Amino acid sequence: MNKVSRNKRLNPPYHGGCECGAIRYTVSAAPIVIYACHCTICQTQSGSAFGMAMRISAESFSLTKGTLKTFRRVADSGQVFTNSFCPYCGTRIHHRADRTPGQISLKPGTLDNSSWLRPSHHVFLRSAQTWVVIPDDALRFETVPENRAWLRGE
């Protein structure tokens, strides 16, 4: 049994890495926001029902082992994303939007201890898989909140 009580935010630093172990990283600051995205791209990327993102400041992230490979994707909105993953096992570690260069969206399932994660926001619920049940205390959005303040932790 994990000693960390569930849903209690863990204090930084956090450590994590990819599936094969070639990539290791450390995060030195607490997250800005943790959310789940149910868009079809996140479903494809994760190979699962939704993607999780932990917004952190770019300077709080340090790679301690390995070198990430990247690819860039232009979204329908015109926004450009740089997606970083392990070159050996393909595990996505994070992405960064050109619009917000000071922030990284870490894939928090890659943390060594993911037991404390709890998304406060669920976005793109219009494409959520039908079996997914959203907790009552989470904020829900058919697409994304109009006001981008939530991505700054406001």
Answer yes or no: are the C-beta atoms of 26 and 35 closer than 8 Å: no
Select 3 or 112, whichever has its Cβ closest to Zn ion: 112
Supply the minimum distance, in Å, between the C-beta of residue 120 and Zn ion: 16
Q: State the Cα angle at 70 between 27 and 112, rounded to 5°.
A: 30
Supply the minimum distance, in Å, between the C-beta of residue 44 and Zn ion: 9
Instruction: Name the phi and psi angles at 38, rounded to 5.
Output: -100, 20
**Which positions lie near Zn ion, rule CB under 5 A?**
18, 20, 22, 37, 39, 42, 86, 88-89
Select 11 or 77, whichever has its Cβ closest to Zn ion: 77
Supply the minimum distance, in Å, between the C-beta of residue 8 and Zn ion: 26
Supply the minimum distance, in Å, between the C-beta of residue 2 and Zn ion: 24
Cβ contacts of residue 148 below 8 Å, gap of 6+? none
The 3-state DSSP class for residue 47 equals coil
Select 42 or 128, whichever has its Cβ closest to Zn ion: 42
